[in-house]
A and B are shown apart, each in its own frame.
Chain A
Amino acid sequence: MLVVMKTPIIRVKDVHKSYGRGPNRFDALKGVSFDINEGESIAIIGKSGSGKSTLMHVLALLDAPTSGSIELEGVETSTLHGKSLNQARNKTFGFVFQQFFLTANSSVLENVMLPMKISGVKRSERKQRALAALEQLEMADKAGNKAVNLSGGQKQRSVIARALVNNPRIIFADEPTGNLDTATGAVVEDILFNLNREHGITLIVVTHDEDLAARCDRRLYIRDGLLVTDTTEVAA
């Protein structure tokens, strides 16, 4: 049997993150290490205040760790600055948030086009790709609607379309079903796991919902800034 040693898409080595100084110092992460391979679906589970959100921010390069290193596709991320850092964020990551963060008075299409506008994609291509992404999520007929007029499920699907549109390698989903009812939440979950399985996009879900976590290949339990359990489900 041949073992192929692939470079993990994200390698986390002894990451610490603390806020404040002196007596007010608060350690959100106290030394976390793990690898994430391309195409995996991973749940980061923990109570509020456990450090799971901080971990996601550090993984998504929104925040720099106080110490330790994060490698993205073998590249040490602390060496990325300015333009290269922005480019890495723009091309590699897609974000799905619990609170959607859609611009309320803009159309769905405008919202979905935003990441491409930031990366400087041509206007015509922008529209075409945004429509294709909306089509994929069965939202094409809502392209012209204002985001504020959508239902929760439609909003979250728009957000997923926005996350997909730049063909990201990794999608970060922070409580993606937190604001949705069970039925709609299930549909959104299905969409996310489909993307993971069929398009090979690495899915990192931050949640405290055990049911959602159970659908992931792997679960990382975080408590008080430490990784307490790392379960890798044995593939059948």
Chain B
Amino acid sequence: MKTLDLFTTAVANTFRAKTRTILTILAIFVGAFTLTITNGLGTGINQYIDDTVTSIGAEDVMTVSVTPDADSGFGASSGPTEYDPDAVSSGGFGPNEGGTVVALTPDDLDTIAEVDGVLSVEATKSITPDWIQYGDGTQYVTSVGGLVTGQSVQLAAGAEPDAASDAFELDLPISFVEPLGFADADAAVGETLTIAITDAERTQHLVDATIVGVAEESVAAPGAGGLVVNAALTDSLYDTQNIGLPDDQLERYAEASIRFDPAATDADVTALKDNLADAGYTGTTVADQLGTVKTVIDAIVLVLNAFAIIALLAASFGIVNTLFMSVQERTREIGLMKAMGMGSGKIFGLFSLEAVFIGFLGSAIGAGIGMLAGTAISSVLSGAVLADLPGLTLIAFDPLSITVIILVVMAIAFLAGTLPAARAAKADPVESLRYE
């Protein structure tokens, strides 16, 4: 029998006992459907995290701060913390957010620059404006952050602030558009925003800047969900803020950004962190910050997948049962085919192909409907519960994992089919054709 004939015969045989086949397919369907959804959940969330990492930054950027002394860290010592004149408040997006850290001095920056693997160092200038205002509207509190080269803003309108420009430019988070009195994101672009900032002598200064774009919100947007400003505006605000500071208080930074070789492998990054640690600094990449989240999600998806696999195993016993019944019913036919010169190998192939086909139907239908259901669920959720996380597709699918699911189910079906198929292949034609 030719392979194509073998295949078409197997497919035709599948539908001979329709009810039985459909019930078996349904059992596999449940497993494949679950596996598709759980996998889609993992894919969707991890995709979102990856997108976020890219938007936060260039993957070759690391945030560096001074490693706190062991006895001044949180919970490291039960006694009172000793005063450190170099401590500053850190407002950045980092592990020490909200706490005080030992400030980086220009000397520290030089030391960091010399660490093996560091390409360049840039101090993160921490700016704390009092409020922002459009026209005569309400004043709002916000934070300010800059873009490191390679970072990008997820834009709702307009463009990113021009780093090379001398003009004061900024991107406004979309959540500020309506409160500030703009009709929509597009209306805000090109307008002037007033930023109030107080210097060290408690004098308030007003700085006007142009809104060049409106940024989408995300879990970890550049500027930590505040204004994203260009270099000219950063310098101006920073200088304004530091008016009146004594010289020895100038140039104190909570953290700095370093760049390393974009082609660096995970091992290189680890080596760089070790080097920094030896010099007394802590380096954190964006991936590190979100890595924990990813690990947790992967673990949850793994557990859910395990349940789906259990469902599939149960279904595979259904395949064994279905095919055993099929072999039983077709004893005569098998005997006849053998008498007509069909080899045992071909008989085995015929029945295992039937199993594989049942597996394929169950998994393809399961994956198909799983994708439809997943897409529907995530579009409903993203409009309701998850509206605060734009860009998140809760359940996403990539063709590779869907193909893998279908292939895995087909492989399980094949394994389940080998037992009945072997029995069919072993059948003795004389026994099979005996009758009373």
Q: Which A residues are within 8 Å of any B CB, using their own CB?
A: 57, 60, 62-63, 82-83, 85-91, 93, 95, 97-99, 101, 103, 105, 114-115, 117-120, 123
Given A99-B435, A120-B5 in contact, is the A63-B341 Cβ separation under 8 Å? no
- CB-CB < 8 A to A119: which residues of B? 1, 341
A selection of 20 A-B contacts at a CB cut-off of 8 Å is A62-B339, A62-B429, A62-B430, A85-B341, A86-B343, A89-B341, A90-B340, A90-B341, A97-B433, A98-B435, A99-B332, A99-B435, A103-B333, A114-B336, A114-B337, A114-B340, A117-B5, A117-B9, A118-B341, A123-B5
- CB-CB < 8 A to A123: which residues of B? 5
4 more A-B contacts (CB under 8 A) besides A62-B429, A103-B333, A105-B16? A101-B333, A115-B340, A115-B341, A120-B2
The reply on B342 being an interface residue by CB < 8 A is yes
- CB-CB < 8 A to A82: which residues of B? 343
Q: Across the interface, do B341 and A87 meet the contact criterion of CB distance under 8 Å?
A: yes
- Docked complex Cα distance between A82 and B346 (Å): 12
- CB-CB < 8 A to B433: which residues of A? 62, 97, 101
- CB-CB < 8 A to B340: which residues of A? 89-90, 95, 114-115, 118
- CB-CB < 8 A to B343: which residues of A? 82-83, 86
Q: Across the interface, do B342 and A86 meet the contact criterion of CB distance under 8 Å?
A: yes
Q: Which 4 pairs, one residue from A and one from B, show the smallest C-beta to C-beta distance?
A: A90-B341, A89-B341, A86-B341, A118-B342
- CB-CB < 8 A to A57: which residues of B? 430
B9 to chain A, nearest CB (A): 7
- Docked complex Cα distance between A73 and B343 (Å): 22
| Interface of B, helix, strand, loop or mixed by DSSP | helix
- Docked complex Cα distance between A60 and B435 (Å): 17
Task: Give the B interface residue count (CB, 8 A).
Answer: 21
- Docked complex Cα distance between A87 and B341 (Å): 6
- CB-CB < 8 A to A93: which residues of B? 339
Given A86-B341, A90-B341, A95-B339 in contact, is the A117-B430 Cβ separation under 8 Å? no
Q: Across the interface, do B341 and A117 meet the contact criterion of CB distance under 8 Å?
A: no
Q: Which B residues are within 8 Å of any A CB, using their own CB?
A: 1-2, 5, 9, 16, 332-333, 335-343, 346, 429-430, 433, 435
A234 to chain B, nearest CB (A): 34
| Interface of A, helix, strand, loop or mixed by DSSP | helix
- Docked complex Cα distance between A39 and B342 (Å): 26
- CB-CB < 8 A to A103: which residues of B? 333
- Docked complex Cα distance between A46 and B2 (Å): 40
- CB-CB < 8 A to A89: which residues of B? 339-341
The answer, among A60, A98, A117, for a CB contact under 8 Å with B339, is: A60
- CB-CB < 8 A to A60: which residues of B? 339
A160 to chain B, nearest CB (A): 14
- Docked complex Cα distance between A120 and B429 (Å): 20
- CB-CB < 8 A to A85: which residues of B? 341
- CB-CB < 8 A to A83: which residues of B? 343
- Docked complex Cα distance between A63 and B339 (Å): 10
A65 to chain B, nearest CB (A): 13
Q: Across the interface, do B339 and A118 meet the contact criterion of CB distance under 8 Å?
A: no
- CB-CB < 8 A to B9: which residues of A? 117
- Docked complex Cα distance between A99 and B336 (Å): 11
- CB-CB < 8 A to A120: which residues of B? 1-2, 5
- Docked complex Cα distance between A160 and B338 (Å): 18
- Docked complex Cα distance between A144 and B364 (Å): 32
The answer, among B1, B333, B336, B338, for a CB contact under 8 Å with A117, is: B1
Closest to A53 in B: B434
A107 to chain B, nearest CB (A): 11
B333 to chain A, nearest CB (A): 6
Closest to A105 in B: B16
- CB-CB < 8 A to B346: which residues of A? 118
- Docked complex Cα distance between A205 and B435 (Å): 17
- Docked complex Cα distance between A118 and B9 (Å): 11
Closest to A87 in B: B341
- Docked complex Cα distance between A61 and B111 (Å): 90
- Docked complex Cα distance between A91 and B2 (Å): 16
- Docked complex Cα distance between A49 and B343 (Å): 29
Chain A CB within 10 A, most for which of B2, B9, B333, B341? B341
Closest to A90 in B: B341
A52 to chain B, nearest CB (A): 13
- Docked complex Cα distance between A113 and B429 (Å): 20
Closest to A58 in B: B430
Chain A CB within 10 A, most for which of B16, B340, B430? B340
Given A101-B332, A101-B336, A117-B5 in contact, is the A88-B435 Cβ separation under 8 Å? no
A101 to chain B, nearest CB (A): 5
- CB-CB < 8 A to B430: which residues of A? 57, 62-63
- CB-CB < 8 A to B332: which residues of A? 99, 101
B1 to chain A, nearest CB (A): 5
- Docked complex Cα distance between A83 and B1 (Å): 12
- Docked complex Cα distance between A93 and B341 (Å): 9
